[in-house]
Amino acid sequence: MAMDWTANRAPSPLLCAALFFLLPGARPLQAALSPNATRATPLVLLTSLGWALAILLAFALWSQFRRTKTRRQSDQEEISRLGTRIKGNEKRCRDLLDSAGDAIFLINPQNGRLQEVNRAAEGLLGYSAAEIPLLPLDVIFAGRQRRRYLALVKKVIRQGYGEDGELIFRRRDGTSFIGAVHARLGRIGSEEMVHGVVRDVTERKMTEQELRRRNRDLTLVNQIAHQAASSGDLAEMLQAVLDKVVSSFDSDGGGIYLVRHAGKDLELLVHHNIDTETLASLRQLCPGQGMCGRVVVSGRPRSSVDLTQDRRLEVEAVRHAGWRGFQAIPLATHERTLGVLFIFNHSRRLFKREEIRLLLGIGKQLGTAVEGIELFDSLQWQNRLTEASNRELEHSRMQLKMNLASVEESSRSLEQLDRIKSNFLALASHELRTPLTFVLASTDLLRDTLRERLSDDEKSALDAIRQGGLRLDEIVSDLLEVARLESQSIYLARERVCLPTLLQDIRYDTLFLLQERGLTLSIVDPGEIPPLVGDHYHLKKTFCRLLENAMKFTPEGGEINILAACRTAGEIQALAPVLRPFSPAFFEKEPGSSYVQITVRDTGIGIPAAEQLRVFDKFYEIGDIASHSTSQTRFGGKGVGLGLTLVKGMVEAHGGMVWVESQGEASLEPGSAFHVLLPHPPPAEETADVAN
């Protein structure tokens, strides 16, 4: 059996004795103790015992050394195992902190310093974990945010828990973010620490702020809409709205202009916090003058960060009054600009895009409200005129001493006329067509069946009735077509239209009238004009109306020319300053690649420049009836003023525009030229449209 030399126990006596007798120095003692020895001397015995004691002592020391060494090695191994375990635990804790999605801070409760952070906190602040404990609090928390942070730390120390949902942190690059902080008091070993968790809520706070802003905007718009709908007095309503806008936008004052006298003047109807001297200067503005006047002309908002440095400022009284930040927006409907709302500040101010967008929405609401109130006032005025007319008619009937039945019948007719006057267009397009059909049918029936029994006067009367019915039918058709064009409910075919053939058909249809009037029609060869894509019937009718208009205003012996040419988009854009007033919508859409321009030029009366835009308005006729060269022909005088309106509407329905040029007054007979511009689609689109 092997002996365990590392065992932690004392050596056995037998082992010591064996070692003693085996040693060379023990031989004298062995000899003295042997049976053959005669007598042992004392010196030999003492020497032998000394050796034995020395050996025992050495062996004991050696055993103790072995036990100490073994115990030390065991302790070192245990310390190494514990150190490895501690390092592993530390690494797991660090990995756990670094894998957390939120930023985690360990805060010194004594001074509020950030002692330790995880990786998310490093990314959030832009500093390394080694740099953050060395940073002063002013670097991370600017201004009053430092006080808020320290107050939060004190609250956690006092109550054990605290939170702040809107603490602003500053990053290394100078940017800031809003952090939601949740902190709790705890211990790490024997040390007391504040544990904080921070989440970046900047985007959420911005979203909440945007929602609150939109809610405020919607509330303001609803209040203004309610004010506009509930007030019948225009000035009172505008003053209340202006006061609300000035207050909501933190402005120092403002005003509202309304367009008057057919767009020739501006009236400062209401104002807020404007001194008397400045008011006197502002009341003299006209459309196109000053920033407000430019808004009326362009229909677009105008703004200035500092009016005192703005070269566009034309009213010096405004500069002296200390106006600086300025914003003006149009009060507009879908068709026109009715006025301008402006606000100002006595300090520099750049109005944000959201503020301008909100003001534009308010401007549209006010434009609709102003239009409604003005229309209501106009209807009231018309009603008063109608009532006055009724009284005058009643007085006339009493003076003529008509019989009671006739008076009652006339009264019923007049009352019926009053009821239908406000809806005349709709009723004309529906209610008049049916009786006209019966009138025309009955007239034709009487003329065909009783022709042999009627006298010449009776035949003439029937013909007059028929001509009048046909004329009324044309007017009703025109009114109906105007209504369809305005509501965009008219059907337009998409077919290939050969322009030379179309013009020759028009010449053939109007040949008799041209010869009757002694007029010369010249169609200039258009050359290689590509075919158009559109509604052949409506385009032919449109050009016939233009030709009839030229014949109406051209004296006998005059000349009418029709020309056609291709135009590029660049050529049309070069004429935009001149043509835009005739059709603003044409230049707001994306331009086409090429166009076809058809011109109808006559040698008749001219059109003054002031009336060239208005000739396309509904029910508008230029000059008096003496200027109409065809007043003795089948056109029957001045007409109702829908021909050019229908031309403009039909051309714009085809994606084009129409305008007029003239060089003088009617008495000089310089002639007029009406230009029709129609887009020509690319070959691929043209083929697809025709196929469809």
For the residues of 191-226, what is the DSSP string, one character each? EEEEEEEEEE-HHHHHHHHHHHHHHHHHHHHHHHHH
**421-479: pLDDT as tens digits:** 435 655 665 667 777 777 777 777 777 787 777 777 777 887 788 788 777 777 877 77
Predicted model pTM: 0.40
The architecture (CATH level 2) of 491-691 comes to 2-Layer Sandwich (3.30)
306 or 74: which leads in pLDDT: 306
Give the three-class secondary structure for 532.
strand
Maximum average pLDDT range among 43-57, 146-160, 627-641: 146-160
Q: Are strands 253-260 and 657-662 parallel, antiparallel or unpaired?
A: unpaired
Query: Does 353 score more than 80 pLDDT?
Result: yes
For 13-35, the DSSP string reads HHHHHHHHHHSGGGHHHHHHHST
**Fold matches, 207-378 and 491-691:** no
Q: How far apart are CA 228 and CA 460, in angstroms?
A: 58
Give the pLDDT band of residue 41 (cuts 50, 70, 90): low
Query: Does 399 score more than 80 pLDDT?
Result: no
Give 265's Cβ-side CA count (13 Å radius). Answer: 7
CATH code for the domain defined by 100-200: 3.30.450.20
Q: What does the domain layout of the chain look like in residue ranges?
A: 13-58, 100-200, 207-378, 379-486, 491-691
Query: Does 355 score more than 70 pLDDT?
Result: yes
**649-678: pLDDT as tens digits:** 999 999 999 999 988 665 566 789 999 999
CATH code for the domain defined by 207-378: 3.30.450.40
Reading the block at residue 344, the tokens are 């100002």
Helix (H) or strand (E) holding 255: strand 253-260
Q: Are strands 520-523 and 559-568 parallel, antiparallel or unpaired?
A: parallel
Give 198-202 contacts, CB < 8 A, sequence gap 24+: 198/102, 198/103, 198/104, 198/105, 198/121, 198/124, 198/167, 198/169, 199/102, 199/103, 200/103, 200/124, 201/165, 201/166, 202/177, 202/178
Give the pLDDT band of residue 3 (cuts 50, 70, 90): very low
Q: How far apart are CA 133 and CA 128, in angstroms?
A: 9
Maximum average pLDDT range among 50-59, 202-211, 224-233, 492-501: 492-501
Q: How far apart are CA 53 and CA 25, in angstroms?
A: 13
Q: How far apart are CA 658 and CA 652, in angstroms?
A: 8
9 or 371: which leads in pLDDT: 371
Query: Does 97 score more than 90 pLDDT?
Result: no
* Lateral strand order in the sheet of 594-602: 520-523, 559-568, 594-602, 672-680, 657-662
* Mean of all residue pLDDT scores within the chain: 80
**579-632: pLDDT as tens digits:** 999 999 898 888 888 899 999 999 888 888 888 888 888 777 776 545 555 444
The architecture (CATH level 2) of 379-486 comes to Orthogonal Bundle (1.10)
Q: What is the pLDDT of residue 9?
A: 47
Task: Give the residue among 261, 268, 309, 302 at the shortest CA–CA distance from 285.
Answer: 268
